[in-house]
Amino acid sequence: MTTMRLWFTKTGEAAYISLLDLQRVMQRAFKRSGLPVWYTQGFNPHIYMTFSAPLALGQESLCESLDFKTEAESFDWAAGCGLLTSCLPGGIKAVKIEPAGMDPGCIAAACYTWTADAGAVENARLAAEAYNAADTVPVQKKSKHKKVKEIDLKQYLPALHWAKQPDGTAAAQVTLPAGSTLTVNPALVLSWLCEHSALQPWQIRILRTGLCTGEGKAFR
């Protein structure tokens, strides 16, 4: 049995599909596509799937992945990508299916491109100035068990800088922890920026562009 890794994008309206709903979407898409996936044994067989560093609701990504198992010794997985995409909703596209490489447990950080709308560039700049000038940026972070603790965002994102783009927007490159022991949701940073400026959450697009290991290597 081989563990395969599906790489897919999740953009546009698909950003508002929760992880639980995404699991259902993928289960149905795999079944409809006819790909040779392995089902768990027992009273209620289902497709074994593991998502790597699940994406927060409302955020987009070019590098989502899930692992599944197959007993097929030979299959055209490149063609399988097309079959799977045809069964997926708009905004979700299968990019590549390949044997799983690194263990998802080695993921330590996520890289994002933030884009400010053309009409929000000045507010984004002022928000970044306030963030950069602050000695500490304390925020309340909830754990999976709904416990609340205070963290200082400055420990993980020392500064935020925007670069104007040819289309009038502004972009910022942001890297934050995204591991099994610590994950910092970009929404925590954005919430602080909006509280300290006239910036509005809907004026910023958060796009995940990559996942990294603790050594700084790209997750593959």
Domain boundary among 101, 128, 161: 101
For 92-105, the pLDDT digits (tens) are: 999 999 999 999 99
Helix or strand holding residue 96 (H, E): strand 92-99
Do 29 and 95 belong to one domain?
A: yes
Residue 220 included in any domain: no
Do 164 and 187 belong to one domain?
A: yes
CATH code for the domain of 15: 3.30.70.580
Do 20 and 95 belong to one domain?
A: yes
pLDDT for 72? 87
pLDDT for 151? 93
pLDDT for 12? 95
Domain boundary among 101, 122, 149: 101
pLDDT for 124? 96
Residue 218 included in any domain: no
pLDDT for 179? 87
- Overall number of domains in the chain: 2
Do 86 and 136 belong to one domain?
A: no
Do 168 and 187 belong to one domain?
A: yes
Token pair belonging to 182: 């610590």
Do 116 and 205 belong to one domain?
A: yes
For 49-78, the pLDDT digits (tens) are: 999 988 999 999 999 999 999 988 889 999
Do 33 and 59 belong to one domain?
A: yes
Do 190 and 111 belong to one domain?
A: yes
- In this structure, are residues 16 and 89 in contact, taking their beta carbons and an 8 Å threshold? no
**pTM across the whole model:** 0.91
Beta strand 170-177 with 163-164 is antiparallel
Burial of 90 (0-12, 13-18, 19+ CB in 10 A): exposed
Domain enclosing residue 82, as ranges: 2-101
Do 94 and 109 belong to one domain?
A: no
Q: Which residues of the chain fall below pLDDT 70? A: 144-145
Do 109 and 203 belong to one domain?
A: yes
Do 163 and 116 belong to one domain?
A: yes
Domain boundary among 101, 118, 149: 101
Alpha helices per DSSP H over the chain: 19-33, 77-85, 121-133, 186-195
Do 209 and 112 belong to one domain?
A: yes
